[in-house]
Amino acid sequence: MTPFRSRYVERSGLGAILDKVLSGERLSREDGLALYRHDDLLGVGTLANHVRETLHGDVAYYIVNQHINHTNVCVAGCKFCAFYRTAKQSDAYVLSPEDVERRMREHMHEPIREIHMVGGVNPDLPFSYYLDVIRTMKRVRPEVHVKAFTMVEIAAMAENFDMTPEEVLRRLKEAGLGSIPGGGAEILTDHAHQVLFKGKIDHRGWMEIAKTAHRLGLKSNATMLFGHVETLEERIEHMLLLREAQDETHGFMAFIPLAFHPENTRLSHLPKPSAADELRNLAVARLMLDNFPHIKAYWIMMTPRVAQAGLHFGADDLDGTVVTEEIYHRAGSMSPQMIGRHELVALIEEAGRVPVERDTLYNPVEAVPRRPPFDPRAVSPTPVDAAVAGDAARA
Footprint of ligand V47 on this chain (CB under 6 A)? 80-82, 118, 150, 181-184, 186, 221, 223, 225, 256, 258, 260-261, 265, 298, 319, 327-328, 331
Q: Which amino acid is at 7?
A: R
- Measured distance CA(279)–CA(48) in Å, rounded: 10
Which residue's CB comes closest to ligand V47? 183
DSSP β-ladder status, 252-259 and 219-226: parallel
Indicate left, alpha or beta for 204 from its phi (over 0: left) and psi (-120 to 50: alpha).
Answer: alpha
Query: Closest separation between CB of residue 44 and ligand V47, Å?
Result: 23
Nearest alpha carbon to residue 227 among 147, 320, 133, 331: 331
Query: Closest separation between CB of residue 299 and ligand V47, Å?
Result: 10
Query: Closest separation between CB of residue 42 and ligand V47, Å?
Result: 26
Query: Closest separation between CB of residue 283 and ligand V47, Å?
Result: 19
Residues making up the chain, counted from first to last: 395
| 45 or 184: CB nearest ligand V47 | 184
| 122 or 221: CB nearest ligand V47 | 221
| 100 or 180: CB nearest ligand V47 | 180
Query: Closest separation between CB of residue 80 and ligand V47, Å?
Result: 5
| 43 or 227: CB nearest ligand V47 | 227
- Measured distance CA(270)–CA(280) in Å, rounded: 19
214 backbone dihedrals φ, ψ, rounded to 5° = -60, -40
| 66 or 221: CB nearest ligand V47 | 221
- Measured distance CA(261)–CA(249) in Å, rounded: 32
State how far the alpha carbon of 160 is from the alpha carbons of 153, 157, 173, in Å.
Answer: 10, 5, 19
Nearest alpha carbon to residue 137 among 218, 66, 73, 214: 66
DSSP β-ladder status, 65-68 and 114-117: parallel
Query: Closest separation between CB of residue 251 and ligand V47, Å?
Result: 13
Query: Closest separation between CB of residue 341 and ligand V47, Å?
Result: 17
Chain-centroid distance of CA 205 in Å reads 20
| 81 or 285: CB nearest ligand V47 | 81
Tell me which H or E stretch contains 178: strand 177-180
Q: Which DSSP string do the residues of 91-115 spell out, in sequence order?
A: T--B--HHHHHHHHHTTTTS---EE
| 50 or 145: CB nearest ligand V47 | 145
- Measured distance CA(292)–CA(248) in Å, rounded: 12
Query: Closest separation between CB of residue 118 and ligand V47, Å?
Result: 5
| 31 or 325: CB nearest ligand V47 | 325
